[in-house]
Amino acid sequence: MRTLILITMTALLAFTTACDDDDANNTSNTNNTSNVNNTSNVNNTSNLGYCGDSLVKGDEECDDGNFQSGDGCSSTCTLEYQCGDGVAEFTEACDIEDFRAQTCVSRGYLQGELYCDDTCTLDDASCTDDATGLDILAWYKLDSLSGQEYNTATSTNLCIPHSLNEGAGAIIRQYPAVIGSGIFFDGSFDLRGFMDCGPGYNGMEQLTVEAWVEVGTYPLDLAMIVSSVASYDATGLAFYMGLNGDFKLEAAVGDWDNVAVSSSNIITREWHHVAFTYDGTEIRIYVDAELDSTTPHAVGAVPTLDSASSRVYVASNYLQNMAETEHFYTGGLDELKIWSTARTAEEICADAGGLFSDDTCHFSFF
Ligand SMILES: [Ca+2]
Ligand SMILES: [Ca+2]
Ligand SMILES: [Ca+2]
């Protein structure tokens, strides 16, 4: 009897299909031999399909087309998660205050607060690039090669890509990074790329410099991530953050030779957040938004540079007409920020797009 009903239904379905006057779809019926496999459906007791056929029918809450549990939709087609329980799981972008470690910053904004609506969808309408209330001097998103970049101090302080040997090839290129795009700098011989980002930042009482880096290769001596310089004279350095030949992060304020060095290595070909703060008495280095090392460095305010010659360079400390040309950075850079205050570990975590809890910075990216 059950077989008879099925045959009748199959016939009805075939009739319905045959009556389809949508010519576009009719081509799919030329291979009706596929219907011989319908014998696998002999267990169907109704036209509601079966759990696992990818169609949500009858009292099924879901159907993800498989027979597994633990993937959000159980083997009996019941949902294994619930919007509103405070835990963001499976297809939920968020759930109440669980944002899966996403923040406005991780989504490419400067600041603001994320919200989660009652369908467990993120609402970033309150995120903003407005720097009001922040002591940020510069924010280089590095999302594009043209018209770099965003700068809260002056809208004219844009970065211009250069190579040491102009015309030597593609030396700076946009590529996927941690937050939106980043820029890959090829610092190898004959392909040395860098950006000139306008007049140098200098003279502030405190300082924070931070960036995401994906180190390509280490230099023999020193590779600059960012520098604010005027000359190689004793009075020619405001600050720099770079990498040395021992696989460490290096930071200097006002003194080319008296530098702070990280205790941990910065692993190549992985994204890591690197930062240093200076409060007038010591340099603190942070790796992945956690304190790495503290170095006494009581030189007072960041030196004031000659305004006519000072520059901010990204991926170099390129000083024209200087003999020194070995300080080019090779690798990816993203979200470079410069502040006029010494940020805390928690703030640096937030600046990097992370969420700080249990003394640890949690990232949605990894
Ligand atoms: Ca499943
Ligand atoms: Ca949930
Ligand atoms: Ca970016």
Q: Which ligand is nearest to the CA of 97?
A: 2
In a domain, 315, yes or no: yes
Q: Which ligand is nearest to the CA of 176?
A: 3
User: What is the length of the chain?
Assistant: 366
Query: Strand, helix or coil at 215?
Result: strand
**What is the rounded distance in angstroms from the CA atom of residue 318 to the CA atom of residue 315?**
9
**What is the rounded distance in angstroms from the CA atom of residue 13 to the CA atom of residue 15?**
5
**Looking at this protein, which amino acid is placed at residue 357?**
S
In a domain, 106, yes or no: no
Return the pLDDT at 325. Answer: 61
Distance 279 CA to ligand 1 centre (A): 54
Distance 319 CA to ligand 2 centre (A): 55
- The DSSP output letter for 257 is S
**Local mean pLDDT, 10-residue blocks, the chain (366 residues):** 38 37 41 43 60 94 95 96 96 96 95 96 94 90 74 61 72 91 88 89 97 95 94 92 97 96 98 98 97 96 93 87 71 96 97 94 92
**What is the rounded distance in angstroms from the CA atom of residue 315 to the CA atom of residue 195?**
7
Distance 105 CA to ligand 2 centre (A): 23
Which residues, at least 6 apart from 309, have a Cβ–Cβ distance to it below 8 Å?
230, 231
In a domain, 53, yes or no: no
Distance 110 CA to ligand 2 centre (A): 28
Distance 107 CA to ligand 2 centre (A): 21
User: Residue 204: which domain range?
Assistant: 136-362
**What is the rounded distance in angstroms from the CA atom of residue 174 to the CA atom of residue 183?**
5
Return the pLDDT at 160. Answer: 85
Nearest CA-CA partner of 212 in 360, 357, 358, 351: 351
CB distance 216 to 321 below 8 Å = no
Q: Which residues of 49-67 are buried (b: 16+ CB within 10 A; e: fewer)?
A: bbbbeeeeeeebebbbeee
**What is the rounded distance in angstroms from the CA atom of residue 25 to the CA atom of residue 68?**
32
Q: Do 191 and 315 lie in a common domain?
A: yes
Distance 313 CA to ligand 3 centre (A): 17
In a domain, 128, yes or no: no
Distance 64 CA to ligand 1 centre (A): 5
Query: Strand, helix or coil at 32?
Result: helix
In a domain, 27, yes or no: yes
Q: Do 35 and 148 lie in a common domain?
A: no
Which residues, at least 6 apart from 120, have a Cβ–Cβ distance to it below 8 Å?
83, 84, 88, 92, 93, 94, 95
**What is the rounded distance in angstroms from the CA atom of residue 152 to the CA atom of residue 71?**
45
In a domain, 258, yes or no: yes
In a domain, 110, yes or no: no
Q: Do 194 and 304 lie in a common domain?
A: yes
Distance 83 CA to ligand 2 centre (A): 4
Nearest CA-CA partner of 185 in 107, 252, 243, 115: 243
Q: Do 147 and 284 lie in a common domain?
A: yes
Give the pair of three-digit tokens for residue 25: 């779809």
Distance 77 CA to ligand 1 centre (A): 7
Distance 175 CA to ligand 3 centre (A): 9
Distance 111 CA to ligand 1 centre (A): 38
In a domain, 291, yes or no: yes
Distance 57 CA to ligand 2 centre (A): 23
Q: Do 140 and 32 lie in a common domain?
A: no
**Into how many domains does the chain fold?**
2
Distance 67 CA to ligand 3 centre (A): 40
Distance 88 CA to ligand 1 centre (A): 18
Q: Do 32 and 163 lie in a common domain?
A: no
Return the pLDDT at 6. Answer: 38
Return the pLDDT at 228. Answer: 96
